[in-house]
Amino acid sequence: MEQRIPLDADEILFVRSADGVIGVVKSGAARQLFIETVDDEIVMTVDPEDLLVASGFSNDRTTTNAIICTLALIRDSGSPLIVLPKHHPASARLKVVASVGKRTVLRCDIQKGTHPEQDVLCGSLGLNGLEVSSVEGHVVLRGGDSLTVERRPFR
């Protein structure tokens, strides 16, 4: 299944399954974002139509608020994306993880917070395989069953 959903830079798109939720915002401006690993700092150039996607591992109000906060910290405050080494003990405690780019695929079979590649993001079982991509003025969703989609102001 494919859905094409309009999305402006001042909006957030929530995509919910029974066991998880993602939030999606457009970058809104050309900018640089930083990806921090144990050994390196990666500088990523982001275009206005690129997407920031944050994934939460439950579908409740607390997780939704954490996603909003995470996306605001990265997009509006310039906080870096943090990548942990595989098998890091903090990985299991992460409640929200994020990626940035033109396309992101959600996967439930990877460890949270350990992937510097920005085209894959850990997600809940109900969001597994969902592809989120950007086209001018829209977000395209491919895959996923029984998902709820909601657009809201982002502020």
Check residue 114 and give its pLDDT. Answer: 57
Quote the distance between the C-alpha of residue 53 and its chain's center. 2
The dihedral over CA atoms of 57, 58, 62, 66, expressed in degrees to the nearest 10, equals 20
Among 86, 68, 90, smallest CA distance to 23 is for 68
Q: What is the pLDDT of residues 10-30, one digit of tens each?
A: 999 999 999 999 999 999 999
According to DSSP, the residues that pair with 15 across neighbouring strands are 22, 149
Tally of domains in the chain: 1
Q: What is the pLDDT of residues 114-127, one digit of tens each?
A: 566 678 898 999 99
Measured CA to CA in angstroms, residue 40 lies from 43, 78, 151 at distances of 10, 17, 36
- Residue 88, pLDDT > 60, answer yes
- Residue 89, pLDDT > 90, answer no
In the predicted model, what is the mean pLDDT of residues 56-79? 95
CA gap 143, 112 in Å, rounded:
21
Pairing of strands 120-122, 103-107: parallel
Dihedral of CA 62/150/7/107: which sign?
positive
Query: What is the pTM (predicted TM-score) of this model?
Result: 0.93
Question: Which amino acid, 145?
Answer: D
Domain that holds residue 76: 2-153
In the predicted model, what is the mean pLDDT of residues 143-148? 88
Quote the distance between the C-alpha of residue 86 and its chain's center. 19
> Going by C-beta distance under 8 Å and a sequence separation of 6 or more, which residues neighbour residue 23?
12, 13, 14, 53, 54, 56, 64, 67, 68, 70, 71
